Amino acid sequence: MTYCVGLLLTKGMVLLSDTRTNAGLDNISTYRKMFLFEDPGERVIAIMTAGSLSVTQTAIARLRAAMKDPEATPDTSILQAQSMLKVAEIAGNTLAAVRRDIDEKLAVMRQSASATMIVAGQVRRGDMRMFLIYPEGNFIEATEDTPFLQIGEHKYGKPILDRVVRPETDLMDAQKAVLLSMDSTLRSNLSVGMPLDLCVIERDACRVGLRRRIEAGDADFRAMSEAWSNALREGFQRITN
């Protein structure tokens, strides 16, 4: 399982992913699920992945191969695409093609594999945008009404986002919100695990503003998690029924 969350705010975007990958409960590994591509000042693209590792790794590998292809065009490379909408289309088509290929291989075993992505970023002179890409390659987009997108194990961490995230939330509070959302998920689903990858991209910067790996045992993360537990318990005690 996986939990990835992205917030699209007035001041920029904040993305957070876990790194746990498992094939059964007895085969657990750490794999990066957040991939950053930038041409600083010109474009910045973040991709987060959830689902079958064979699908997500192959999809990211094909996106990279297309960037390096000497015959790459704005229709094939996300580093040349002229808008974030085009980036989402390229990523969606790549994901859908990989999924079809792998599904064909798995059909003999009556199995199937699937994956989803969050694709977000900004191309200079374009809007900052964030998309959730479905396994079939179609996508939806974060808006002012719903300024966040989640993939993977999204339920445990949603109540906090619903309550505190607004488009005008500042980027410090936004980091706190995604970390607490992840904290609730980590507590409830063993297949979501540390370390975490955090990324902040300011609007119109077209570059990664902050990139941080939060390791298991990170003192700041633990302090925030404990403060939140205490705040919940105190809040609970103060309510009268």
- Contact positions vs a second copy (CB under 8 A): 155-156, 158-160, 162-164, 172-173, 175-177, 179-180, 184, 187-188, 220, 224, 227-229, 231-236, 238-241
Best CA proximity match to 37, nearest among 215, 241, 211 = 211
- Give whichever of 88 and 180 is closer to a second copy, judged by the CB atom: 180
**C-beta separation of 52 from 62 below 8 A:** no
- Give whichever of 89 and 183 is closer to a second copy, judged by the CB atom: 183
Residue 16 CB, nearest approach to a second copy (Å): 12
User: What number of other Cβ atoms are within 10 A of residue 125's Cβ?
Assistant: 10
CA distance 41 to 117: 24
Residue 192: burial class (beta carbons within 10 Å; 0-12, 13-18, 19+): buried
What tokens appear for 13 in the block?
């975007």
What tokens appear for 188 in the block?
């409830």
- Give whichever of 90 and 192 is closer to a second copy, judged by the CB atom: 192
Q: β-strand 20-22 against 28-30: which pairing, if any?
A: antiparallel
Residue 216 CB, nearest approach to a second copy (Å): 18
Residue 37 CB, nearest approach to a second copy (Å): 27
Q: How many helices (H) and strands (E) does the chain have?
A: 5, 12
Residue 189 CB, nearest approach to a second copy (Å): 9
- Give whichever of 113 and 165 is closer to a second copy, judged by the CB atom: 165
Residue 158 CB, nearest approach to a second copy (Å): 6
- Give whichever of 27 and 241 is closer to a second copy, judged by the CB atom: 241
